[in-house]
Amino acid sequence: MFPSSLRALCVKLGVGPETRLTEEVSAYVLECGESLRVFGTNAVLSNQAIAHIMQLPELRNWATEQGPPQVTDLIHHGIPDDVASLFPSLEGLDLREEMALEWLSLFEVAKNRSPPWIMARDSLSQVSYHHPTLPIDSSLISRFLSFPELSDVRISMRCIPGRCRSQITDEDVGRLATALPKLEALSLGELSCNSNTCPTTIRSLLVLSIHCPKLRYLNIHFRTGSLQADTLDMLGDAYSRGLHLRPKCALKTLVTQGMLVDFLAHNPVFISIGMLMVFPSLTGFVQSIIPDAWAHLEAMVKLLGSVPELPALTEGLMRVLNMRGSGRS
């Protein structure tokens, strides 16, 4: 028997037949009382055990590889049809397989029921999703857009040599940024890659900086092979739409680990000005263990960031770009 004061429980089973110990593990879960705050398992649980977990009043973090039951199954296994709240204190949701993503859909189904189920109300602030081989695409991003209270979103995936698994566009990042204005940490990929095949550009960084003023941590794959041309395009567009006047977030360090950039082909001063226009508080980059070209750019960013006249110089540069027809309406 578990003590009534149990606050955290993790049940991790090995790969193989033992992961199917549904009845045995579920029996242990049903013994957990109202003090439980953290629970996670890779085991498949019974619908009754899941219904029990969803009604624990103090549960803060729930990690699972299993998809949710149907609403009718939850009602059949102990959740009243007119229940006021499920996961009433949930703050963090850790999803570790593709089927587990359906928990996000269940939140929407519960909200739209009649009478509605209130799931995690305004408490859910952190969602992480781990699936190293699944690509990050528009449909995956769309699953997070209905949770405006999220402050921490982390999606893990690993790229393969020569191809980035990030398939999201600047428009996808724009939808995410406007839907989740309270973001403080965003990670779209475990490590950045050097394939330069992703469609995302530096323009996405500007959108995030404008719409997510609390952003303090950012790890996102963006194209560096055409960084100078993309920066030129971003600066001209920003000036033509007045985006250079919008307040920006206070991000100080950008994750660029593993991303290649060739400063023989790009002007580091120009790139640095563009980076500082996107993140005015930027002081450095999370780089590879071995110093690379980003170390040179970091030194340039720190130098230019200390120049009081930089805003005026940037304004003048964007005026020139606009006069040359780089801007858009």
Question: Which residue intervals of the chain bear CATH 3.80.10?
Answer: 125-329
Give the Cα separation of 209 and 215 in Å (integer): 7
Q: What percentage of the chain carries pLDDT values higher than 70?
A: 88
Give the Cα separation of 321 and 97 in Å (integer): 46
Domain 125-329, CATH among 3.40.50, 1.10.10, 3.80.10, 3.10.350: 3.80.10
Residue 18 CB partners (closer than 8 Å, separation 6+): none
Q: Are 223 and 194 in contact (CB under 8 A)?
A: no
Q: Are 190 and 156 in contact (CB under 8 A)?
A: yes
pLDDT, average across residues 268-296: 84
pLDDT, average across residues 122-130: 92
pTM: 0.88
The label of the residue with tokens 């739409």 reads 241
Q: Is 315 helix (H, G, I), strand (E, B) or coil?
A: helix
- Read off the pLDDT of residues 263-274 as tens digits, 9 standing for 90 and up: 777 788 888 889
Higher model confidence: residue 162 or residue 144?
144
Residue 20: the pLDDT is 67
329: pLDDT confidence band, cut at 50, 70 and 90?
very low
pLDDT, average across residues 162-173: 90
CA angle at 262 for the pair 258 and 265, rounded to the nearest 5°: 160
326: pLDDT confidence band, cut at 50, 70 and 90?
very low
Give the Cα separation of 298 and 209 in Å (integer): 19
114: pLDDT confidence band, cut at 50, 70 and 90?
confident
pLDDT, average across residues 189-201: 79
DSSP state of 160: B
Q: Is the pLDDT of residue 328 over 60?
A: no
- Read off the pLDDT of residues 57-95 as tens digits, 9 standing for 90 and up: 999 999 999 999 998 898 888 888 777 789 999 999 999
